[in-house]
């Protein structure tokens, strides 16, 4: 994976927000964009770094891991931010979800 130039936390949050909204698979877009809307402003720098690593995975993998359809690799399941994403996915249940406003 190519190393990024150092970025401040504000820039990192904005980049991650974009990456979470523009995944390409609707289910993952909805899951990640609603998670970002609720949690991104309060994530620590370490959690943001872990989220950056998590987002480097394939969309369907992220979705299936977060919704407990398949087992996440240990390096992912050990991330505190991934645990927050799983909790978020579990709370969504069967409610109708739409993309949050920008």
Which of 88, 51, 48 minimizes the C-alpha distance to 66? 88
Over 60: is that where the pLDDT of 26 sits?
A: yes
Report which of residues 91 and 101 the model is more confident about.
Answer: 91
Q: What is the pLDDT of residues 66-87, one digit of tens each?
A: 999 999 999 999 999 999 999 9
Over 90: is that where the pLDDT of 1 sits?
A: no
Distances (CA, A) of 21 to 27, 28, 64: 11, 9, 17
Secondary structure (3-state) at 4 = coil
Instruction: Give the Cα separation of 33 and 14 in Å (integer).
Output: 12
- Extended beta strands in 1-102, E state: none
pTM of the predicted structure, to 2 decimals: 0.85
Instruction: Give the Cα separation of 23 and 30 in Å (integer).
Output: 9
Distances (CA, A) of 44 to 22, 29, 63, 75, 77: 22, 22, 22, 18, 18
Instruction: Give the Cα separation of 33 and 53 in Å (integer).
Output: 17
């Amino acid at each position: 994976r190519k190393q990024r130039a150092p970025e401040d936390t504000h820039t990192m949050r904005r980049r991650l927000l974009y990456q979470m909204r523009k995944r390409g698979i609707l289910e993952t877009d909805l899951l990640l964009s609603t998670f970002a809307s609720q949690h991104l402003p309060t994530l620590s720098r370490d959690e943001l770094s872990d989220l950056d690593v998590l987002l480097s995975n394939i969309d369907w993998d992220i979705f299936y891991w977060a919704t407990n359809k398949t087992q996440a690799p240990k390096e992912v399941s050990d991330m505190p931010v991934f645990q927050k994403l799983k909790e978020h996915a579990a709370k969504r249940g069967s409610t109708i979800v739409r993309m949050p406003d920008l």
